[in-house]
Structure 1
Amino acid sequence: MHTVQKWLTLAIVSSALFLIVVDMTVLYTALPALTHELQASSSQKLWIINIYSLVVCALLPGLGTLGDRLGHKPVFLAGLLVFGVASLCAAFSPAPAWLIASRILLALGAAMMMPATLSLIRLTFADARERSFAIGVWAAIASGGAAFGPVLGGFLLEHYWWGSVFLINVPVVLLTLVMAVVILPKRAGNTDKPWDILGSLQVMLGLLGGVYAIKEAGKAAPSYAVALLALLIGAFFMTIFVRRQNRQAQPMIDFALFRALPFSSAVAAAMVASAALIGMELALSQHLQLVRALSPLDAGLLLLPLPLASVVAGPLTGLMLPRADKAQVLWGSLLVSGLGMAGYLLLHDAAVFWQVASLVLLGLGLGAVMTAASSAVMLNVAPQQAGMAASIEEVSFELGGVLGVTILGTIMTAVYSATLVLPASAGDLPNAHDTLDAALQAAGQLPVALGLQVAQLARAAFDQAFVAVLATAAAILLLAAATLRQLHLRQHRADLAARSAI
């Protein structure tokens, strides 16, 4: 393939990936405005946020392997078209139910494109050094784009209405679609490999049940019976899916891959990094706007060093990987991420310079983690399994985000509720112990002096909850780094012993 065509292919798939991952977090800053405009209930607000990752997770495995069969270019083009139409529908949604339906359509388009983006890179770049660099760019977009979402949302909301966070997708989709039709290489899929429709449905229902259970358990007022039922349904379908795959001559997902430590540790690292980033960012965006009273744009600008550092770290790590110990890069990147998160925990009230320095360190680590993890996943499978491997890696990223929002969000709510003690003179304030924004709204209805006291107490309680989120995220990253280091050292010793015994 011509050199220019290769790098244009990278630019095309990176543009599509940026749209997909930004859509995961751009609503963090737009949610208050669209909730007010559409008169969305608290339940509808949760569905607007959650339905996207829920559907993407469920559809990724089936659509990833479909690309292996049909060819990744046609699946990618169809996904772009669906994503563009869904963005237009979402931007002009007249009611919450319409927006939720549009988010489902967005998720369908994203699930069609995501495995194709990484698969096309794997198949386009034959040179190992170029491929590592290209995967580094992909990983930088994946981690940096998610962190950039609130920045973009804040900028758009400063100048336009809430629908602009979706409408901005449309011109990018149109340009990318034209370029993709002309430039992307057309490679025939493996038509000899059957597409397992039954298996696709089984894994979809399994992931749907599991992710729904996690999200239900993470609500402020969860129904544990519903969560348990969803978990049992998910576990049932995942069990029969795994058993079916183990009997197949050409499985949709080859679970034997997980026995290789480089592959399984990369999947785990991507999930941990995503959980820490998405969960921390959700808490941080609220802290900046509701506690420190920054505008959406100012909050987004304060977050900007994180995605910028991630974008720099991804390609640099990709260039380094062919010559480095890949296991050390993986656990070392998690360690750097954990130190950056711990630094922000200690310095989030310090001068802006120290806050920015901590966010830069965190971004560098996360960008390197995603590059090392993506490279390990994609380079440990044959080219004809690229779609399958890409879907596994991306499910780990999406599922990590779900776990991060649920686990860290639950900790945030629990600590906030436990530490908020309101004066008796405030009376009964509905939902004040559930969320900070509810407490601030209630405070606005009280006499001025009492309202200011309630607002101050609520912000102080949320500040403690924010600290708990940062501490948990840092601990998760550092524990993951230590665990992977120990596992790889044990594997290294076993390999040395095996070689010496020969």
Structure 2
Amino acid sequence: MALQHTPPPTLRHSQRWLFLAILSLGLFMVGVDNSILYTALPTLEAQLNTTELQGLWTINAYPLVVSALLLGTGTLGDKIGHRRMFDIGLLIFGTASAIAAFSPNPATLITARGLLGIGAATLMPATLALLRHTFTDVRERNIAIGIWGSVATLGAAIGPLIGGLLLEHFWWGSVFLINVPVVIFTLIATFALGPANQPNQSKQWDFLSSFYAMIAMAGLVIIIKEFAHAPTDYLVLGCALIAALIAGVLFQRRQATLAQPTLSWDIFNNRLLVVGVTGAGFGMFVLAGTELLTTQRMQITQHFSPLEAGLLVASGALAAFPTSVLGGAILHRVGFTPLIAGGFFVMSTGTGLIAFGPATLSTIIAGLVLTGAGAGLVMSVTSTAIIGSAPASRSGMASSVEAVSYEFGTLLSVAILGSLSPWFYNRYLNTQPSAPAYDAAYFSTITIAALAALSAAVLTVIIIKGNPKETEYAHE
């Protein structure tokens, strides 16, 4: 006989917002670790002897594992309780951070980054699911999700600054070790202020679905990297393609046999949710790519220190935070279409200014500010579109879908833009000195980010077909 699920008790007003602050702290760490290595790659090459490919995999191992596991961890959270998943995720994250900080070689560091991905995949959907259950009032929930989106965007945007600041005064392992005290504090605060764990044993979790998803995504990333580097190892490319196809088919067939699938495709029947998913993916693609390319370019050609490069891209973070909170606060008045499509237009303007404007520092700062401001609008409102468009009974699944789109956008950005940049560099190297060649590669690759943002704006208008101001399941 299936156990009955008891709804979680309602927290008092002050407790709800304090608990949101705790959830935001865990989410902030997840976002920071997406980008904290952007300013550390030259340091890792010098001190840990990483190659260019190892550097990209050190960055990509994290979002790859996160993206692959998120669908399963969201469903598992429905079963054993999202509060427990949050605590488990914090423990894994803290342990993996300590291992990464003292890694003796690139292989150990890449492995530790994968473990960090497991921790992030465990706690990230839990933050959104707990938020969905904690804030039952629609207006309060929109503001809370706006703050959630601003924290996620701020973490990703300010990661290079934190990395640069630590590298200015400490050794490279400090960019990971800083997570440990934050994890300890968050665990204590969750124990003191968080609601009781509410498991639902009637829910089911399927390990094979998560495994198939991970194989499919790993194969996809390898394919993208191979094509971006002008493939020569056709055996690796062929194996990756076969693995991705087989795993994708097995995942789909597995869902058809499960009474409670890890991913139920009918969740995408809601147009607003589809816009939210694509918007979150495109938003992180543009933001992460712009940050990665800018930090690398300024350190290599302009001889910026890691801290100076981090301070530069932090201008985007400062612009993202207020617009993200504003988006959640005015959503019920303005509607989804102007905020999502408009945010992407602002992002495309910012990246376009960097790519086609005068090659000056002030132009790059202005472009980063516009890109960050647009990203803040997009990320907060797309999160609301996803979480609010799914029924409460599927909050774990919806949280996982949102987090997958967020992480997969980062993953593709590093895989595509990070791989194309050396290709452009080699193309220009024959006719120009190395610094101008790298500059040309930078502006060429940023152009792709600008086109991606512009395409996302147009796609938003086409898919939504109207301007809803609330989600279908807002009152459920």
**TM-score normalised by length of structure 1:** 0.87
Question: Aligned AA for 1:234?
Answer: A
Task: Report the counterpart of residue 8 of structure 2 in structure 1.
Answer: none
Map Cα deviations across residues 175-216 of structure 1 (whole Å, 9 max, x no partner): 001001121112422211221233232223222332333344
Task: Report the counterpart of residue 444 of structure 2 in structure 1.
Answer: 468
Tell me, in whole angstroms, the C-alpha distance in 2 between the residues paired with 1:97 and 1:247: 38
Q: CA offset at residue 221 of structure 1?
A: 6.5
Does the 8 A contact of 1:215 with 1:402 survive in 2?
A: no
Task: Report the counterpart of residue 16 of structure 1 in structure 2.
Answer: 26
The answer to whether 1:380 aligns with 2:389 is yes
Tell me, in whole angstroms, the C-alpha distance in 2 between the residues paired with 1:232 and 1:277: 31
Task: Report the counterpart of residue 353 of structure 2 in structure 1.
Answer: 343
Change (3 A) 1:216 1:5: farther
Task: Report the counterpart of residue 213 of structure 2 in structure 1.
Answer: 203
Unaligned runs of 5+ in 2: 1-10, 469-476
Tell me, in whole angstroms, the C-alpha distance in 2 between the residues paired with 1:212 and 1:188: 39
Map Cα deviations across residues 146-201 of structure 1 (whole Å, 9 max, x no partner): 11111111111111111110111111111001001121112422211221233232
Task: Report the counterpart of residue 483 of structure 1 in structure 2.
Answer: 459
Residues 321-330 or 156-165, more deviating:
321-330
Map Cα deviations across residues 109-146 of structure 1 (whole Å, 9 max, x no partner): 11101111111111111111111111111111212211
Does the 8 A contact of 2:66 with 2:117 survive in 1?
A: yes
Task: Report the counterpart of residue 32 of structure 1 in structure 2.
Answer: 42
Tell me, in whole angstroms, the C-alpha distance in 1 between the residues paired with 2:191 and 2:225: 38
Question: Aligned AA for 2:115?
Answer: L
Tell me, in whole angstroms, the C-alpha distance in 1 between the residues paired with 2:310 and 2:243: 39
Please show how residues 321-340 of structure 1 align to structure 2 within 5 Å.
Answer: 321-340=331-350
Correspondence for 1:418 among 414, 423, 427? 427
Q: CA offset at residue 260 of structure 1?
A: 1.9
The answer to whether 1:223 aligns with 2:233 is yes
Question: Aligned AA for 2:130?
Answer: L
Tell me, in whole angstroms, the C-alpha distance in 1 between the residues paired with 2:433 and 2:169: 32
Tell me, in whole angstroms, the C-alpha distance in 2 between the residues paired with 1:38 and 1:294: 20
Map Cα deviations across residues 310-350 of structure 1 (whole Å, 9 max, x no partner): 11111110001122221332212111111121122234623
Residues 38-47 or 367-376, more deviating:
38-47
Tell me, in whole angstroms, the C-alpha distance in 2 between the residues paired with 1:44 and 1:483: 35
Residues 179-188 or 167-176, more deviating:
179-188
Correspondence for 2:117 among 107, 111, 120? 107
Correspondence for 2:99 among 89, 97, 117? 89
Say what the alpha-carbon RMSD is for the aligned residues. 2.0
Change (3 A) 1:268 1:120: same
Q: CA offset at residue 298 of structure 1?
A: 1.2
Task: Report the counterpart of residue 77 of structure 1 in structure 2.
Answer: 87
Does the 8 A contact of 1:190 with 1:384 survive in 2?
A: no
Tell me, in whole angstroms, the C-alpha distance in 2 between the residues paired with 1:472 and 1:405: 13
Change (3 A) 1:74 1:490: closer
Tell me, in whole angstroms, the C-alpha distance in 1 between the residues paired with 2:53 and 2:420: 20
The answer to whether 1:64 aligns with 2:74 is yes
Please show how residues 197-276 of structure 1 align to structure 2 within 5 Å.
Answer: 197-219=207-229, 223-276=233-286
Q: CA offset at residue 61 of structure 1?
A: 0.9
Q: CA offset at residue 239 of structure 1?
A: 1.9
The answer to whether 1:165 aligns with 2:141 is no
Question: Aligned AA for 1:283?
Answer: L
Map Cα deviations across residues 204-249 of structure 1 (whole Å, 9 max, x no partner): 3222332333344445766343133213212222222223324544
Does the 8 A contact of 1:345 with 1:470 survive in 2?
A: yes
Change (3 A) 1:470 1:204: closer
Structure 1 consecutive aligned stretches of length 4 or more whose deviation exceeds 6 Å: none
Larger radius of gyration: 1
Tell me, in whole angstroms, the C-alpha distance in 1 between the residues paired with 2:234 and 2:190: 46
Map Cα deviations across residues 231-281 of structure 1 (whole Å, 9 max, x no partner): 321222222222332454422211112122111111111111111111221
Correspondence for 1:142 among 152, 160, 163? 152
Task: Report the counterpart of residue 496 of structure 1 in structure 2.
Answer: none
Tell me, in whole angstroms, the C-alpha distance in 2 between the residues paired with 1:135 and 1:100: 32
By relative contact order (CA 8 Å, sep 6+), the higher-ranking structure is 2
Give the secondary-structure state (helix, strand or coil) at the position aligned to 1:29. coil
Tell me, in whole angstroms, the C-alpha distance in 2 between the residues paired with 1:471 and 1:90: 34
Q: CA offset at residue 44 of structure 1?
A: 3.3
Map Cα deviations across residues 368-421 of structure 1 (whole Å, 9 max, x no partner): 111111100000111221111111111111111121122223332222111112
Question: Aligned AA for 2:336?
Answer: K
Tell me, in whole angstroms, the C-alpha distance in 1 between the residues paired with 2:260 and 2:105: 45
Q: CA offset at residue 68 of structure 1?
A: 0.8
Does the 8 A contact of 1:54 with 1:212 survive in 2?
A: no
Tell me, in whole angstroms, the C-alpha distance in 2 between the residues paired with 1:42 and 1:361: 30
Change (3 A) 1:285 1:221: farther
Question: Aligned AA for 1:359?
Answer: L
Tell me, in whole angstroms, the C-alpha distance in 2 between the residues paired with 1:398 and 1:482: 22
Count the aligned residue pairs: 458
**TM-score normalised by length of structure 2:** 0.91
Unaligned runs of 5+ in 1: 423-455, 493-502
Question: Aligned AA for 2:264?
Answer: D
Change (3 A) 1:363 1:302: same
Tell me, in whole angstroms, the C-alpha distance in 1 between the residues paired with 2:179 and 2:156: 15
Question: Aligned AA for 2:331?
Answer: L
Tell me, in whole angstroms, the C-alpha distance in 1 between the residues paired with 2:79 and 2:107: 35
Task: Report the counterpart of residue 125 of structure 1 in structure 2.
Answer: 135
Q: Identity, % of aligned pairs?
A: 42
Tell me, in whole angstroms, the C-alpha distance in 1 between the residues paired with 2:465 and 2:395: 28
Tell me, in whole angstroms, the C-alpha distance in 2 between the residues paired with 1:358 and 1:472: 15
Tell me, in whole angstroms, the C-alpha distance in 2 between the residues paired with 1:232 and 1:265: 30
Residues 198-207 or 456-465, more deviating:
198-207
